Amino acid sequence: MRKPIVAGNWKMFKTKDEAVQFVEALKAITPSSDKVDTVICASPILLDAVTETAKNSDIHIGAQNMHFEKEGAFTGETSPVLLQDFGVKYVILGHSERREYFYESDEFIAKKVQAAFDHQLTPIVCVGETLDEKEAGETTQKVEGQVQAALKPLTEDQVKQTIIAYEPIWAIGTGKTATAADANEVCGAIRAKIASLYSTEVADAIRIQYGGSVKPDNMEELMSQEHIDGALVGGASLQAESFGKLLEAA
Ligand code: PEP
């Protein structure tokens, strides 16, 4: 039985006061971590405030990106050492916005995935197809390739601990959601690929989220699918009340 994991991706939203107020409000309604893993992924400049506010609660804090090097001349970047130092537990890697606007390649993302494990951070690895790729029938091939490349440097035990987020790019921030059946089919194909690369034991253990316009009114149906173990949520993670409803539905 895989424990659901619901992660909010705040992107470049929220001031410090708004972030602290959100975490305070969420603390009162977050389900116990026996039932669901709750993660909030904030901008690096908010991490100090949100990790402090979330202390001794069932809320885990994540980052939205990081560099793979421990330190160095990389202006504007955040190292895994700093994330660890701030008490961050998760890091989103390979989000489609990073792949598209910052030209992150599969190889570059794989280095970050390895660096995450080197610093006791759990990576949430995003994969997904564009609308053109979907229409050309290339979805499975695309996401399987992304999954294989991102997991390449890892041991089997690390693969089991990785979170994969299947996020069709055409569904992110658009209000269009993949049908629960379609999302489940792609998540099932990812699991089958992992079984063929590693073992059924690894494939049964790894948690796969769906992301793309998840809202309180579609969460329950998505979560009822065999291969969907949680959600990565943008827009609906910005209000504690709506995010709380997603956690409840998980
Ligand atoms: C995301 O940014 O990962 C995402 C899924 O956004 P939204 O929920 O707004 O589509």
Q: Whose CA is nearest to atom 4 of ligand 1?
A: 234
211 lines ligand 1 (CB under 6 A): yes
- Give pLDDT, residue 133: 96
User: What pLDDT is attached to residue 185?
Assistant: 97
Residue 213 Cβ < 6 Å to ligand 1:
yes
Torsion 60-61-65-66 (CA) sign = negative
* Digitized pLDDT (tens) for each residue of the chain, 250 residues in all: 899 999 999 999 999 999 999 999 999 999 999 999 999 999 999 999 999 999 999 999 999 999 999 999 999 999 999 999 999 999 999 999 999 999 999 999 999 999 999 999 999 999 999 999 999 999 999 999 999 999 999 999 999 999 999 999 999 988 888 899 999 999 999 999 999 999 999 999 999 999 999 999 999 999 999 999 999 999 999 999 999 999 999 9
- Look up the pTM and report it: 0.97
Ligand 1 atom 8 nearest Cα: 234
Pocket test residue of 11, 233, 243 for ligand 1, highest count of atoms within 8 A of CB: 233
Question: How far is residue 227's CA from residue 191's CA, in Å, rounded to a whole number?
Answer: 8
Q: Tell me if residue 135 falls in helix, strand or coil.
A: helix
C-alpha count within 13 angstroms, C-beta hemisphere, residue 221: 12
Protein residue with least CA distance to atom 1, ligand 1: 234
pLDDT score at 178: 87
Domains of the chain with CATH codes:
5-249 (3.20.20.70)
The pLDDT, as a whole number, for residue 177 is: 84
Question: Which atom of ligand 1 is nearest to 237's Cα?
Answer: 8
**H or E element in which residue 83 lies:** helix 80-85
Q: Say whether the ipTM exceeds 0.95.
A: yes
3-state helix, strand, coil in the chain (%, to 5): 50, 15, 35
